[in-house]
Amino acid sequence: MHTLNAAQQAAVSYVDGPLLVLAGAGSGKTRVITQKIAYLIRDYGIAPSHITAITFTNKAAKEMQARAKNLLGERGKGVMISTFHSLGVRILRQEAKALGLKPGFSILDSSDATGLLQELSGGVDKAQLRLLQSRISLWKNALIDPAAAITLATDGMESSAAQLYVDYERALRAYQAVDFDDLIRLPVALFSTQEDVAERWRKRLWHLLIDEYQDTNRGQYRLVQLLTQGRDAFTAVGDDDQSIYAWRGADSDNLRLLKADYPRLKVVMLEQNYRSTSRILDAANQLIGHNPKLFEKQLWSEHGQGETIHIQTCRDGDHEAEWVVSRLSAHRFERRTQFSDYAILYRGNYQARAFEQQLRAQRIPYVISGGQSFFERTEIKDIIAYLRLLSNQDDDPAFIRAVTTPKRGIGGSTLEALGLAAGRRRQSLFATLLSPAVGDDLPVRQHTALREFSGFIQRMEARAHSESAGTLLTAIIDAIGYEAWLFSSLDVRDAETRWANVCDFVQWIARKGEEENKTLLELAQSVALLSMLDSQAEETNAVQLATLHAVKGLEFRHVFLAGVEEGLLPHRDSLDPTRLEEERRLMYVGVTRAQASLIISWCERRKQGKTWMMREPSRFIAEMGSVALTAVAQRAMVPDTNTAIARAAGLRAMLAGNNKS
């Protein structure tokens, strides 16, 4: 443990009760978690199979696994390092019967869940559907069931959402399916009502280590409680200053609950930052100091003062993008740095467009975080539909997608007739199709095509028990003629791209099957939780474009933080005290991504729809203090310097006034 500082060592070696490690940005929290895993095994004698580390992303889990392997080698084999939702899948898979699920239940991804809700809601517009879906998700994360939701509804929108929630849950049960939120909610429900099952899992998971604890929602907090009840053997690692996901259900009060629910809770502060210069940290500390604090901490660094933080005034969004990319290009030439040393961060996805245009114009390579997932691509979802259907023949959404892709003469009217017959029998579409009497409800040709399809699925399902995942998936894709269908229905270039993606997916499935010794059926059930992007991630020499929400956990030598103006950061819809605190934490996350240099830009005007709106620099700039900042007195490449000087003088005055207060 010679590589650890005193606070890190204290966190690693404490095993006498519940522990909260408040790990500031860049303070080495992943090192602490992996070193503690090693300590629990080597020094405390806990079997690897009784240790579970929980993260929020597959990428974080993979990084943690790699570090633990470097520390322990084969001795660490058996430690489970996974996301919260992967743990949920593991629990549900083993306890499916107790919840009335069959082992091959389906996991609906976001688009499938949206499609089901759209169907159940009678075709409301997309904006309304998003509101309803978000409300249902928040209820699930807060462990509120449909009956309680109906009681709690306070207006027409919530009443509609509550009724839709009732219908949605009924449909999920009929399809033998769960959605993403159920992967936490259902294990909590199980452990809350069946003590013997809960105790069995407690014995299995002796010590829990939870990463990014500040991002947990109510359901995840309750799951941790139920898994550690009676022993309280857990280490929660997080940072209250980086809690930025309230909009998706994260509850920063979970930190307060820890203090209240666990009187023996020990708190260890990690305040030494190994990432950034002192000027960057001073600005970050001053900024976040404007939020009320449950725990006081001050980040510090041994990396020296470093460069001042540059504040750039721009005319508008297009000018901002032009200036940022030009400055980046010149900086790279001067410093002989790599493109991957730079990140351009912003509040909203739409801001990326202008930067992309400028980067392309200057032939600078870039990547965008939070872009379309590999699994969201049409061709991949087509193939996954077959996998889901193999695993769970009651999965109606998967059935509909598979039976119509590629086209085999089965259209909407045939599926509607089959759906009506299924409704009368209270069966899934696939089960209804196997009924001899269903032929009376369908045209002969379409009935024949459907029976051929069902026979094919049954044959493939039977083969799945004895054949390797890669071999069988190849056989399925060949049998349905997917490659030929792509090239007959799309232009050559698009077809080639999609087919290449399918081939990559097949190779990945084959590799996962061999590495994990799993059949195609076993892989199919959890494929919705796997990220191919994580597994294929390679170092790319490219500028990173990302929203502030997507960049947490990352770091870059040089950071451009764009659009730091009132109405955008903080967002105009987030000016009440509670939401403003989260916006400030979002700014803090952006600032603390920078290692060596930070440049902040804001625009004097920005287009909102078709209207130009005048802007002012964000209050957060002033809150960072003036010592570490350099406010420029002109706008680059802009001839009307008088206006620019006046604006910059106003900004300087604001900074100076803040520094005196």
* Residues forming the active site: 29-30, 211-212, 242, 593
Report the Cα–Cα distance between both ends of the chain, in Å, rounded.
43
Q: How many angstroms separate the CA atoms of 5 and 517, rounded?
A: 40
Compute CA 591 distance to the chain's CA centroid, rounded to the nearest angstrom: 21
What is the bridge-based pairing of β-strands 605-608 and 611-614? antiparallel
Q: How many angstroms separate the CA atoms of 591 and 281, rounded?
A: 8
Residue from 471, 458, 455 nearest 519 by CA: 471
If residue 314 lies in a helix (H) or strand (E), which one and from where to where? strand 309-314
Burial 382-418 (b: 16+ CB within 10 A, else e): bbbbbbbbbbbbbbbbbbbbbbbbeeeebeeebbebb
Q: How many angstroms separate the CA atoms of 326 and 329, rounded?
A: 5
The two structure tokens encoding residue 15: 């095993």
With 0-12 / 13-18 / 19 or more C-beta atoms within 10 angstroms meaning exposed / middle / buried, residue 379 is: buried
Residue from 89, 90, 96, 116 nearest 395 by CA: 116
Rg over CA atoms, the chain: 27
Q: Is the torsion defined by CA of 42, 44, 47, 48 positive or negative?
A: negative
Residue from 135, 180, 171 nearest 156 by CA: 135
The two structure tokens encoding residue 525: 């059930």
Residue 267 bridge partners (DSSP): 20
Q: How many angstroms separate the CA atoms of 47 and 205, rounded?
A: 10
Q: How many angstroms separate the CA atoms of 31 and 37, rounded?
A: 10
Tokens 């909260």 found at: 20
